[in-house]
Amino acid sequence: MKLIILKNNIIEGLNSVERAISNISNLPILKNLLIKTEGGRILFTCTNLEIAITHTVPGKIVEEGEITIPLSVFAPVAKNLNTERISLETKDSHVLVTTDNYEATIQAQNAKEFPIIPGVSDKDKVVKMSAGKLLDALQSVFIATQYSEIRPEISGVFFHVFDNEVTLAATDSFRLAERTVKIEDVQTQQNDISMIVPYRTAEELLRFLTNSNGDVELFIEQNQVLFKTTTKQLISRLVDGVFPEYRAIIPKQIQNEAVLNRDEFINALKLTSSFSGRGNNVTITIGENKKFLELSSADSSVGENHYKIPIKLKGEPFSVVFNWRYLLDGLKIYSSEDITLGVNAADRPAVLKNPTEAKLVYVVMPIKS
């Protein structure tokens, strides 16, 4: 194999795939980068056996081939070279890295020793949508999930494709976020597809989509999913389990709704939380005059504070205690000027919503006082 690639293209490829490098010490091959030519393209691939990321790197193919080399050696070499054109050539069991004024020989391994990257064979189940839309939806719900080995079915993001829409949902049992977006194109005979994308895959997908322009395609199988753009692809196993019937948690009717400025609510939470102590408890109370929402927190070793925000109240006054971090996370995923806090009771799920963002809902459980 012999390739000529510009430095910037190499770095872009490395930045895309290096997050899939594994730390498993008993499988050193997983710390390697696979470089191969296929169909006139140069491909960089890394995998940790859970996910695999492949990036198409522009360059000149002088001679076809494939090889795998330690990423920890190749990456700093490529990133610190001060010339644009870099030549990569295999010779025996080595890769020669050369420029006009530099030469390095890196110990390589046969590409056949690299794990086989599974393919998604059922090309009939494909969803095509804007990468920006999917990124926006994923950012909205990812905040509500967390990694858990005890409950793998909620350790990830739930995707539901139905009727030209895709709904993403996530929960950690204390809060729930759901976001629905339109799909540009659905090419499948099935009108109802569900899957749970693992936490770490969803985390990597956020980075994958951040620098992606145009559309992203989702190829879905029973046990794995492929996210593909024009220059890169991410393939991952899916969580083997059933996502909870979370819609039963979302209140269908709200008895008491307080409408207030979202930015002021955020600032008030940040300020009053300074006195919340280890429990992260902030009490939200609406007084008898129904004109103000008061946030307060107290800690015997620190003190206490109070903050009042003007509101428009529909319903009756209430008092409820929240983990301020969970409430703040929910406020941040909205972009509207105003926000509505809906409360039915001090021990029932509360809802953050806004009419201008009807396809986004955030539910948070109060703390029982």
| pLDDT at residue 127, as a whole number | 87
Look up the CATH number of domain 250-364: 3.10.150.10
| pLDDT at residue 148, as a whole number | 86
| pLDDT at residue 276, as a whole number | 87
Supply the DSSP symbol for 173.
S
Look up the CATH number of domain 126-247: 3.10.150.10
Question: Distance between CA atoms of 271 and 295, rounded to whole angstroms?
Answer: 10
Supply the DSSP symbol for 350.
E
197's tokens: 């994308």
CB neighbours of residue 92 within 10 Å: 6
Buried b / exposed e over 20-37, threshold 16 CB at 10 Å, is bbbeeeeeebbbbbbbbb
Q: What do you get for the CA distance between the two ends of the chain, in Å? A: 68
CB neighbours of residue 219 within 10 Å: 21
| pLDDT at residue 123, as a whole number | 65
DSSP H helical segments within 148-189, as ranges? none
| pLDDT at residue 335, as a whole number | 94
pLDDT under 70: residue ranges of the chain: 25, 121-124, 185-190, 369
Q: Which CATH architecture has domain 2-113?
A: Roll (3.10)
Edge-to-edge order in the sheet of strand 85-91? 60-63, 2-6, 85-91, 94-98, 103-107
Let me know if the fold of 2-113 is the same as that of 250-364.
yes
Question: Distance between CA atoms of 221 and 120, rounded to whole angstroms?
Answer: 7
Q: With beta carbons less than 8 A apart as the criterion, state whether 215 and 245 touch.
A: no
Q: Locate the domains of the chain by residue range.
A: 2-113, 126-247, 250-364
| pLDDT at residue 197, as a whole number | 97
